[in-house]
Amino acid sequence: MKIEALVFDLYGTLLDVRSLADAVAAGIADTGDPETVVTAWRQKQLEYTWLRAAMGRYEDFWAVTASALDYTLERLGLSVAPEARRRMMDGWLTLRPYPEVPAALARLTPRTLTVLSNGSPRMLDEALRFANLHRAFAHVLSVDEVRTYKPTPAVYAIAERRLALAREAILFVSSNAWDAAGAQAYGLRAALVNRTGAPPERLGAMPSMVVGDLSELAGRVGP
């Protein structure tokens, strides 16, 4: 079936989470390595979404991200002033897009483009506006609608319901292999953006397509 719509994950797929390092570096000064903090923060943030989904104890992504930051700083033995912590959090609103993203989205715009993210609505709106990507998308969808997190099937159902298309007509795009697997298991077609050349996950739901970046995706999907 022809792909009629593309649904994108945001963090790590369109926006580079590593660009948080600037805000982190300003907050910790010379007391730690910013990249180490970002990596640990991101991993704990995801762990908390999975655990909260499993426990049925939803908090929005901003609150989860704040809890993950506090854990990470304590785990790494770092102390930051309240204003520095606020700037670190605000870094999620000013993430940089990957270099190829704007041009790739422009090539794909004959189709309906949508964001489906763990992010809370305010986070998504501010981040997309800062990155100047907000005009590319017909819909910006948050897990807030169902109060749980990816890869819970109810999250992917949001896109199917909003787009009113057959699952096979929707291509879900993510650089997170577990997210692509969740979408594929739900019944959407999934494209994994594998920028790091990581081996395939053993989750029993292989993506329909694997690409190195969004430029390759645009070329594969075609006009």
Active-site annotation, residues: 9
The contacts of residue 110 (CB under 8 Å, 6+ apart) are 223
The contacts of residue 127 (CB under 8 Å, 6+ apart) are 10, 15, 92, 93, 94, 95, 119
- Are 118 and 150 a contacting pair, CB within 8 Å? yes
* Separation of alpha carbons 184 and 200, rounded Å: 14
In the chain, what are the helix, strand and coil shares in percent, each to the nearest 5?
50, 15, 35
Strand pairing category for 15-16 and 96-97:
antiparallel
Give the DSSP letter string of 32-101.
S-HHHHHHHHHHHHHHHHHHHHHHT----HHHHHHHHHHHHHHHTT----HHHHHHHHHGGGSPEEPTTH
